[in-house]
Amino acid sequence: MRTVFDDELAERLMRYARIDTQADPTSSTTPSSAKQYDLLNMLVAELEQLGAHALRLTDYGAVLATIPATTTTATPTVAFLAHVDTAPGFNATGVKPIIHRNYDGGEIVLPDDPSAVLSPKSLPYLGTKVGEDIVTASGTTLLGADDKAGVAIIMAMAGHLLRHPEIPHGPIRICFTPDEEIGRGVHPKLPADLQADVAYTLDGAHLGEIVYETFSADAATVKVQGVAIHPGWARGKLVNALHLAAKIIDTLPHATLTPETTDGRQGFIHVHTLTGTAAAAELHFILRDFELEGLRAQGELIQQVCAAVQAGEPRAQISCTITNQYRNMRYWLEHDMRPVELAREACRQVGVEPFSVPVRGGTDGSRLTELGLPTPNLFTGMQEIHGPLEWVSVQDMGRATRMCLKLAELWVGERAEARAAPATPDHTEGTSDRVG
């Protein structure tokens, strides 16, 4: 179904996608990459032109703006968020977005790499989009619909509300964050700066998807200090840190506890970085599970493996640090499902049937919810994210825009709950253990 927002959304997405905003996990700055400001500053200028109020770019790289209430009815302040950064795992430089008008249901061959083919045979959701307008990259980069589709949707919604003050709604807060892809999207100052009672991230996938359950997440950093010596005189003296690092990886379960061997509600341990030399090496893991018990078990397993490898080579020094990243938003939202139920009703009122499934990932909303601001995640249409086959339907984006507009109206007259300090189900913010 086509919407009045389609042309604007396509233009915005393609314009935003051309801007390289890739996050840098090795950087200690905020934002992690200066180039994210290229889009952040553009959004500030566009919101100013639209007439947004209380507009500012914070010192931690978040764009904040207000759309004033158009009703005198006491109404909770609702925030809509999207992140401007793109994932660091695949090329994001030189993105050339392409719009495939009136998709005919066949294969889409991406011109800069003819081996990159979107086919409804392998991508069943694509097969449901016949007649719609599909946006892709050219084959050698990701597209960045994650989450520039969300950015475009929020900007289209903001513009519409500011042009139509006759639409009844309470105070609306707009927020664009950096560094979501590397787990730094929610700065400690953000919840207070948002000044919202409820929030939504536009960072979801399939049409109608309303997410209120995500992974809980920890990170593990393992450091291996070996014994360095010239290899010509190494007999009985060298302790190769890379060999020990490889042994740690090899000892962990591969058949049942990695991303490529799990799905549904199964958690995983994922080693994503190994760096170093024979003298010293460092491994980085992400740990994911829907339940805290499973997440703790994963951390304990890595620590046990490190301890066993350490015991086999006492001349080495091996440390394992487990750090809290975010928690399953369900732990808090299940106590007050109004934000989810109103999102579902907004979907139905624009002709979209809502559904909710546990999502094998997290959003800025996971952390915001944990910090006391209930923040479910809403669909944008983005598909095959973080790689060259990434695509999105403009019409899915249009329906997401209409849903957000309806959602703003549905909150009119709802009661704002007092936001007490959140009761976390896991009081351990992180542990650091040296084994051996």
What tokens were used for 302? 């890595």
- For 313, residues 6+ apart whose C-beta sits below 8 A from its C-beta are 239, 244
* Sign, CA torsion 36/39/42/48: negative
What tokens were used for 294? 């499973």
Closest CA to 67 of 368, 408, 335: 408
| Fold of the domain built from segment(s) 216-325 | Alpha-Beta Plaits (3.30.70)
Edge-to-edge strands, sheet with 210-211: 53-57, 63-67, 172-177, 78-83, 198-204, 377-379, 210-211
Closest CA to 169 of 83, 79, 294, 55: 79
Distance, in Å, from the CA atom of 375 to the CA atom of 349, rounded to the nearest integer, reads 21
State the amino acid at position 294 in one-letter form.
G
**How buried is 265 (Cβ within 10 angstroms: 0-12 exposed, 13-18 middle, 19+ buried)?**
middle
- For 352, residues 6+ apart whose C-beta sits below 8 A from its C-beta are 207, 208, 399, 403
Looking at residue 255, its pLDDT comes to 82
Looking at residue 111, its pLDDT comes to 97
CATH 3.40.630.10 residue window(s) in the chain? 6-214+328-410
Whether pTM > 0.85 for this model: the answer is yes
Looking at residue 243, its pLDDT comes to 97
Chain position carrying tokens 């968020």: 81
Distance, in Å, from the CA atom of 82 to the CA atom of 90, rounded to the nearest integer, reads 20
* Sign, CA torsion 301/304/306/309: negative
Q: Are 375 and 200 in contact (CB under 8 A)?
A: yes
Per-residue pLDDT of the chain (436 residues; tens, 9 = 90+): 788 999 999 999 999 999 999 999 889 999 999 999 999 999 999 999 999 999 999 999 999 999 999 999 899 999 999 999 999 989 999 999 999 999 999 999 999 999 999 999 999 999 999 999 999 999 999 999 999 999 999 999 999 999 999 999 999 999 999 999 988 999 999 999 999 999 999 999 999 999 999 999 999 999 999 999 999 999 999 999 999 999 999 999 988 899 999 999 999 999 999 999 999 999 999 999 999 999 999 999 999 999 999 999 999 999 999 999 899 999 999 999 999 999 999 999 999 999 999 999 888 999 999 999 999 999 999 999 999 999 999 999 999 999 999 999 999 988 766 554 455 565 344 433 333 3
Q: Give me the DSSP letters along 406-436.
A: HHHHHTTTPPPPP-PPP--S----EEEEEE-
Give, in order, the Cα–Cα distances in Å from 112 to each of 15, 97, 121, 202, 304: 19, 11, 22, 29, 47
Looking at residue 417, its pLDDT comes to 65
Which tens digit of pLDDT belongs to each residue from 15-73?
Answer: 999 999 999 988 999 999 999 999 999 999 999 999 999 999 999 999 999 999 999 98
Size of the chain, expressed as the number of residues it contains = 436
Report whether the peptide linkage leading into residue 168 is cis, meaning its omega lies within 30 degrees of zero.
no
Report residue 420 CA to chain centroid gap: 26
CATH 3.30.70.360 residue window(s) in the chain? 216-325
State the amino acid at position 153 in one-letter form.
I
Count of beta carbons in the 10 Å neighbourhood of residue 421: 7
Looking at residue 433, its pLDDT comes to 37
End-to-end CA distance of the chain: 62
Distance, in Å, from the CA atom of 119 to the CA atom of 112, rounded to the nearest integer, reads 17
Chain position carrying tokens 């809502």: 354
Give, in order, the Cα–Cα distances in Å from 329 to each of 9, 32, 354, 363: 29, 25, 18, 9
The yes or no reply on domain 6-214+328-410 and CATH 3.40.630.10 is: yes
Which tens digit of pLDDT belongs to each residue from 301-332?
Answer: 999 999 999 999 999 999 999 999 899 999 99
Helix axes 292-312, 241-251, angle to 10 degrees: 140
DSSP 8-state symbol, 128 = G
Q: Give me the DSSP letters along 42-88.
A: HHHHHHHHHT-EEEEE-TTS-EEEEE--S--S----EEEEEE--B-T
Catalytic residues: 85, 180
Looking at residue 319, its pLDDT comes to 97
